[in-house]
Amino acid sequence: MTVLLLVTMCAAVAPAQQKPMAPRDQRLYALARTDIKAFAVEVSQGANSDVDRAHAIVQWLTRNFDWKATDYQKRSVQQVIERRGGNCDDLARVALAAMKELNIRLRRVHEVHIRTVSDQREKNARALVEEKGNTYSVFGRHHNDHVWLEVYDSKSNEWFPADPWSGLVGLHEWMEARVGFGKRSGPNPDAADMIVPIAIFAADADGNFSVDRTRHYLVDEFDRLYHGRLHDLPAWKPWVALLDRLDGAVAGAFAGRVNLHRDEADIDSVASTYEELRAEYSRTNRRVPGSL
């Protein structure tokens, strides 16, 4: 099993004080600290499907747990609960633990996304690559990584996103917020800096991030989000070609075989190509960016 010390969302400063909790949420939090299964059952009470149960758990965590900058400490799920927050990987592990108690079929997902440029983030990343290895190259000057979950829906026979960092559950909601051309926003302080994912891999049965989901989300569903109007735009073929080129490099970085910083030119190119797609779509459809 590939072991990754995930470094996602480490650029901003964690909130100074924790979110206040309503009385019911205080009771649920006390339950989560002592009996994660009882918590999962209670918080999802009234839900009639795995989709609804996953939504209830994710939304509760998003509302009541704080995002905290990565401090490179390895914590158990119980320690994250006691801390009442953590980075995206911490939050995903708590959600996963609760959903497993309800026998929801799910898997972890690891992405690399385009992020607003930061020379300091690049400096930090290069130092960590030098010290600890290539897995730390999944963040850098113009990119960062992020962890969330996919939950299986037996009715549609499909996997759908569930992200306790952002509160996003469901394919359309996630696509609009993370891939679509609209303004980025969310409950955490650095949501606006996350521009668009460029590689997405789900975990296999051994825990390795080897199940390639890049084309599913960033090609097929992206075009479908805009009613099939993207694949005829001039920037579409370069967009797909760059995703394909970077896909193997990102997979190699997850596995510790590849230093993703060597692909910085392609990362810059895919970022500019995304902006070209946004502009072309806006001109072609005579709408403001983000409209569907």
pTM: 0.91
CATH number of the domain that residue 166 is part of? 3.90.260
In a domain, 7, yes or no: no
pLDDT score recorded for residue 286: 63
The answer to whether residue 196 sits within a structural domain is yes
Could you tell me the pLDDT band of residue 71, with boundaries at 50, 70 and 90?
confident
Whole-number pLDDT of residue 291: 55
Domain that holds residue 187: 23-285
Residue 18 maps to a domain: no
Q: How many domains does the chain have?
A: 1
- Whether 209 maps to a domain, the answer reads yes
- Of 166-180, 181-195, 268-282, where does mean pLDDT reach its minimum? 181-195
Residue 206 in domain: yes
Q: What's the rounded Cα separation, in Å, for the pair 98 and 86? A: 16
pLDDT tens, position by position, 123-153: 999 999 999 999 999 999 999 999 999 999 9
Give the pLDDT score at 70. 76
Task: Give the tokens for residue 96.
Answer: 């996963």
Checking if the pLDDT of 2 tops 90, the result is no
Find the mean pLDDT for residues 170-180. 97
pLDDT recorded at residue 72 = 73
pLDDT per residue over 78-135, tens digit each? 999 999 999 999 999 999 999 999 999 999 999 999 999 999 999 999 999 999 999 9
pLDDT band of 189, cuts 50, 70, 90: confident
pLDDT category, 186, cuts 50, 70, 90?
Answer: confident
**Is 4 a residue whose pLDDT tops 60?**
no
Instruction: Assess whether pLDDT exceeds 80 at residue 1.
Output: no
The pair phi, psi for residue 109, each rounded to 5°, is -130, 140
Has residue 99 been placed in a domain? Answer: yes
Do residues 200 and 250 touch, judged by C-beta distance below 8 A?
A: no
Pick from 67-71, 170-174, 183-187, 215-219: least confident? 67-71
- What pLDDT score was predicted for residue 287? 57
In a domain, 170, yes or no: yes
Q: What is the mean pLDDT of the chain?
A: 91
Q: Does pLDDT of 14 surpass 60?
A: no
Q: Report d(CA 144, CA 136) in Å as an integer.
A: 10
d(CA 187, CA 118) in angstroms, rounded, equals 21
Can you give the pLDDT at residue 16?
A: 44
Amino acid identity of residue 202, one-letter, is: A
pLDDT bin (cut points 50, 70, 90) of residue 199 is very high
Report pLDDT for 114.
Answer: 98
pLDDT band at 13 (very low <50, low <70, confident <90, very high): very low
Residue 117 lies in a domain: yes
Number of neighbours of residue 95 by Cβ within 10 angstroms: 28
Residues 64, 50: Cα–Cα separation, whole Å: 21
Q: Is the backbone of residue 177 left (phi > 0), alpha (psi -120 to 50) or beta?
A: alpha
